[in-house]
Chains A and B, each alone.
Chain A
Amino acid sequence: MADQTLPIHGALDLTPPRESQHTLLDILHDWVITVDHKKLGLMYMMMAIFFLLVAGAEAICIRIQLAVPNNHFISPQTFNRLFTMHGTTMVFLVGMPLVFAWANYIVPLQIGARDMAFPRLNAFSFWLTFLGGIFLYYSFIGGPGLYGTGSAPDVTWWAYAPLTAKAFSPGHATDYWALALIVTGFGTIGGGINIMATVLSMRCKGMTLMRMPLFTWLMFVNGAFVLIVITPLTAAQVMLLIDRYLGGHFFDTQAGGSATVWMHFFWIFGHPEVYVLVFPAFAIASEVIQVFSRKAIFGYPAMVAAVVGIAFVSLGVWAHHMFTIGMTSAGNAFFVLSTSLVGIPTGIKIFNWLATMWGGKIRFATPMLFCTAFLFQFLCAGLTGIMLSVAPWDWQLHSSYFVIAHFHYVLVGAIVFNVFAGIYYWFPKATGRMMSETLGKWHFWLFFIGFHVTFDTMHFVGFEGMPRWIYTYPADRGWQHLNLVVSIGGVIQAIAVLLFAYNLIWSLFKGKIAGNDPWDAWTLEWATSSPPPIYNFATDPVVRSRRPLWDLKHPEDPDWKYD
């Protein structure tokens, strides 16, 4: 056993494990009944990767349809369903499970805990989220409306009233959509409570709040943040179902209700949600960049303050999604200013990551490649965000492909890139094997090129006035060449993602044996074996600084001397 090589002696219990049977049914049973945070984390991760492939395939269908003018690859109805399902899936069945995948797997290990605070609530939350996914996709066969054929939701992922009213969306597709979001929402609330309680109540001795790794800090803020972010959506969905099933009038303009109220309720959830999704990306960057630059993170307190600042400010920016509905100029001015304000804490974070890299001994392994690209792309996404936060500019470009390019720059260029970085970084910890670097480099460069071919070009399609949601366009608009380029980029990204999936499976069986600490990292998860034993640490670790493993590896120059 590799205990001798571990920096914390006694971190492993060396009693041989009991013999267990390994039939397929046993293994499946093991995973279904588990309350272990590591297994649940991996289940969240597998769910996210599965739905990433599904929603990615939907995106590819959309791009094939738009590649050439006057195309009839899919019908307009199918097109509406595909972009609705693509958006809903990516946000609720990929982005949200990813939050909990990272939080579940890494946070208890980083704070030296045995498990999450409420292991059974944890399993319950996962299965609720999974059930939501089944609800949403069951709509393909269970939600036939008046269209005759199968009917997935086609009301877009923000589902503006009154399109969602019974009269305009007959059948059950919209109900499956609303139910799926309520159910995953409950799962999210359970997960958020669990993260909050874990971080506050389960830290090992000496792990004060200001000694927590930044990853844990971001997940903690996120756990508390989702409690007030996801719940307005739950409330709005309940209202929608009351309207649809009990004949209520919340969003029924004919009875004095207001469609604008739905927009407000949706975006009070919808904008902070972007930050919920991006915080894990920040968390991963904060670990990967310092380890691969061989320097402690620059400006730790400022990083913590910035993330709390982003969370607070982002609660007051939602109506920048609604500049075109005709708000008062005072309303416009408020949301322009509050939205621009987000740029300040975000800028602090970018500068601190850059300052961490500055003068460091940078190793460009695959995780670091993804994080470096993230820094650049997230900056660009932030800049187009500032452009769109200016109301007159937004009036010009709202509902054009420029907006799509902007938010995909965040969602793909920042979040997906860092999720890949995180998987390459922690895969050795979770499986005991390294992912293939060669395939990893291929994956990175293909994905990087595909990303820029698609989404850089998409900005210009937007400038040329191509609106969102149209399923095809005539040839004389001058959009066809750029659209073809965008679609080709999409195919390159798809190839890269398939390469990544292949790499995952190949490395799981054939990858190089990783050892316990392949990256020479500094946080506690690398102080136990790979994969970690079910109890994580046989003796509770005690920490004295932000980099407990550095202290143990360098007793002559520990961090706590400088506290």
Chain B
Amino acid sequence: MSAIPLVPASYEQEWHLPSKGRVGMYGLIIAESAIFTIFVVAYVYYIGKSLYGPTPQQVLDVPIFNTICLLSSSVTIWLSERAIERGNMRGFGLWWAVTITLGTIFLVGTGMEWYKLIYHDGLTIRTNLFGTTFYSLVGLHATHVVIGLIMLGLTLIFTLTGHVRQEHSERVQVLALYWHFVDAVWVVVFTVVYIVGR
């Protein structure tokens, strides 16, 4: 059985296709954006529609430190992406660990904020419309942070055991895309909840 060329040999073109990992992650990000859009729309629509308190003005503090931590984790993960691309595995592991630390600080900060809201201000998800929309939207984002941290943590474990090498930089960057998305969503959530809604 011989492989006969199907087309004249003169037909030789460069054939580039986008990376399927990136396309897949962009697809996931599009889908997630739509989910967040619906929750954000619900939050914005219900601003000021609660029939009884507490109101956002009474109980919400702007989490500036948290926000700085989360947003700077986008920078640190970018630094670690750059490190793995250049084969600098120590730099990669270091910046990756810093990213996880910053994400964890954000999560702990959210936990402390919720503790204060629940035990001092008496605001739960069933208290009023504000509680329902607030915990849903911020909780949805926090869920994404948790999922992101689990994946980043697994990658860190594999890095420490030496299973992550330079040739995995493509995959690491696909994962980092997700983390950038989680950070970008926070900008929207922060604006809506702590600036527009307060």
Interface residues of A, Cβ cutoff 8 Å to B:
3, 8-10, 14, 117-118, 121, 189, 192-194, 196-198, 200-203, 205-206, 223-224, 227-228, 230-232, 234-236, 238-239, 242-243, 246-250, 255-258, 261, 265, 268, 539, 541-542, 544, 552
Bound: A242/B136 CA distance, A: 8
Q: A10-B4, A265-B38 are in contact. Are A256 and B126 (CB under 8 A)?
A: no
- 18 extra interface residue pairs, beta carbon distance < 8 Å, beyond A205-B15, A248-B132, A249-B126: A117-B20, A189-B31, A192-B27, A193-B27, A193-B31, A194-B24, A200-B17, A201-B19, A227-B27, A231-B31, A232-B38, A235-B35, A242-B136, A250-B42, A256-B46, A257-B49, A258-B49, A552-B6
Once the chains bind, are B27 and A196 in contact (CB under 8 Å)? yes
- Which residue of B18, B28, B45, B125 contacts A247 across the interface (Cβ within 8 Å)? B125
Write out the residue numbers on chain B whose beta carbons fall within 8 Å of the beta carbon of A197. 20, 23-24, 27
Closest to A7 in B: B6
Interface residues of B, Cβ cutoff 8 Å to A:
1-4, 6-7, 11, 13, 15, 17-20, 23-24, 27-28, 30-32, 34-35, 37-39, 42, 45-46, 49-51, 125-126, 128-129, 132-133, 136, 140
Once the chains bind, are A10 and B2 in contact (CB under 8 Å)? yes
Once the chains bind, are A192 and B31 in contact (CB under 8 Å)? yes
Bound: A9/B4 CA distance, A: 6
Write out the residue numbers on chain A whose beta carbons fall within 8 Å of the beta carbon of B32. 231
Bound: A196/B17 CA distance, A: 13
| Least Cβ–Cβ distance between B46 and chain A, in angstroms | 7
| Least Cβ–Cβ distance between A327 and chain B, in angstroms | 15
Bound: A239/B135 CA distance, A: 11
| Least Cβ–Cβ distance between A510 and chain B, in angstroms | 32
Closest 10 pairs between A and B when the two form their complex, measured CB to CB? A247-B126, A193-B27, A235-B38, A201-B20, A231-B34, A248-B132, A227-B31, A10-B3, A117-B20, A197-B23
Sampled A-B contacts (8; CB under 8 Å): A10-B4, A193-B31, A235-B35, A239-B39, A242-B132, A250-B133, A256-B50, A257-B129
- Which residue of B23, B51, B126 contacts A246 across the interface (Cβ within 8 Å)? B126
Once the chains bind, are A200 and B18 in contact (CB under 8 Å)? yes
Bound: A236/B125 CA distance, A: 16
Once the chains bind, are A196 and B23 in contact (CB under 8 Å)? yes
Write out the residue numbers on chain B whose beta carbons fall within 8 Å of the beta carbon of A228. 30-31, 34
Bound: A543/B69 CA distance, A: 51
Once the chains bind, are A118 and B15 in contact (CB under 8 Å)? no
| Least Cβ–Cβ distance between A120 and chain B, in angstroms | 12
Write out the residue numbers on chain B whose beta carbons fall within 8 Å of the beta carbon of A234. 35
Bound: A194/B50 CA distance, A: 42
| Least Cβ–Cβ distance between A454 and chain B, in angstroms | 36
Once the chains bind, are A117 and B24 in contact (CB under 8 Å)? yes
| Least Cβ–Cβ distance between A224 and chain B, in angstroms | 7
Q: A201-B17, A242-B125, A552-B6 are in contact. Are A250 and B132 (CB under 8 A)?
A: yes
Once the chains bind, are B38 and A201 in contact (CB under 8 Å)? no
Our count of residue pairs bridging A and B at CB distance below 8 angstroms stands at 133
Write out the residue numbers on chain B whose beta carbons fall within 8 Å of the beta carbon of A3. 1
Write out the residue numbers on chain B whose beta carbons fall within 8 Å of the beta carbon of A232. 34-35, 37-38
Write out the residue numbers on chain B whose beta carbons fall within 8 Å of the beta carbon of A249. 126, 128-129, 132
Once the chains bind, are A206 and B126 in contact (CB under 8 Å)? no
- Which residue of A14, A231, A236, A542 contacts B7 across the interface (Cβ within 8 Å)? A542
Write out the residue numbers on chain A whose beta carbons fall within 8 Å of the beta carbon of B49. 256-258
Q: A205-B15, A227-B34 are in contact. Are A239 and B128 (CB under 8 A)?
A: no
Write out the residue numbers on chain B whose beta carbons fall within 8 Å of the beta carbon of A542. 6-7, 11
Write out the residue numbers on chain A whose beta carbons fall within 8 Å of the beta carbon of B3. 9-10, 539
Closest to B4 in A: A9
Write out the residue numbers on chain B whose beta carbons fall within 8 Å of the beta carbon of A246. 125-126
Closest to A558 in B: B7
Once the chains bind, are A239 and B136 in contact (CB under 8 Å)? yes
Write out the residue numbers on chain A whose beta carbons fall within 8 Å of the beta carbon of B24. 117-118, 121, 193-194, 196-197
Bound: A261/B2 CA distance, A: 64
| Least Cβ–Cβ distance between B124 and chain A, in angstroms | 8
| Least Cβ–Cβ distance between B16 and chain A, in angstroms | 10
| Least Cβ–Cβ distance between B178 and chain A, in angstroms | 13
Bound: A228/B19 CA distance, A: 22
Bound: A552/B15 CA distance, A: 21
Write out the residue numbers on chain B whose beta carbons fall within 8 Å of the beta carbon of A261. 42, 45
Bound: A256/B53 CA distance, A: 12
- Which residue of A117, A203, A227, A239 contacts B42 across the interface (Cβ within 8 Å)? A239
Bound: A194/B25 CA distance, A: 10
Write out the residue numbers on chain B whose beta carbons fall within 8 Å of the beta carbon of A552. 6
Write out the residue numbers on chain A whose beta carbons fall within 8 Å of the beta carbon of B45. 258, 261
| Least Cβ–Cβ distance between B131 and chain A, in angstroms | 8
Write out the residue numbers on chain B whose beta carbons fall within 8 Å of the beta carbon of A227. 27, 30-31, 34
Bound: A247/B132 CA distance, A: 8
Once the chains bind, are B23 and A248 in contact (CB under 8 Å)? no
Once the chains bind, are B132 and A8 in contact (CB under 8 Å)? no
Write out the residue numbers on chain A whose beta carbons fall within 8 Å of the beta carbon of B126. 246-249
- Which residue of B2, B39, B132, B133 contacts A235 across the interface (Cβ within 8 Å)? B39
Q: A250-B132, A261-B45 are in contact. Are A544 and B7 (CB under 8 A)?
A: yes
